[in-house]
Structure 1
Amino acid sequence: MTPGKSIWIKADEIAQLLDLTTATFRRNVARLTERDGFPLPSSHRLKPITWRRAAVEAWINSQGYSADDLRGVPNGQDPGAANVHLLRLAEAG
């Protein structure tokens, strides 16, 4: 877990980590969960919906890139196969 951060993370912060808009993340979170193993949200809170930060960070790392890697891919450069699906989501949003 990131030191000094809450154990919970909301959709807007996850979207920022993935370099997506919040709307794009919200539209695609079910698909990311079902197809790509994205963590399920917390079951003990209704609003706002939150996820365990450690689980989200572990999922990002398991995809073969860090959030810094995704943000740093220049236009036209091959980001690698591990994060192509997220870049497609970003383009669709």
Structure 2
Amino acid sequence: MGITESLGDAVAGRPYQLTGLVFGAAAVAHFALWAQSPGQSFDAAVATGDVSTAVPEVVAYAQGHPAYLLAFVAGAVLLVRRP
């Protein structure tokens, strides 16, 4: 059995976990890009430890991008669900 067959078997046996991983990674990547965008002060607030500035930024993100928040939650659920 070659490495491609082993990898194919591992991927085929875990479709929900892989889908959850993709959803979660997309949501985390979007948040990271958003946090570093020039119009946001979240990255600077976290770097200085200013929680009073960071929390409203996170709330604004959640209100402005609910689909990514939902994708993260759905990804986490798919990762930890039992077959």
Q: TM-score, normalised by structure 2?
A: 0.35
Report which structure shows greater RCO (CA 8 Å, sep ≥6): 2
Tell me which protein shows more helix as a share of its residues: 2
Larger radius of gyration: 2
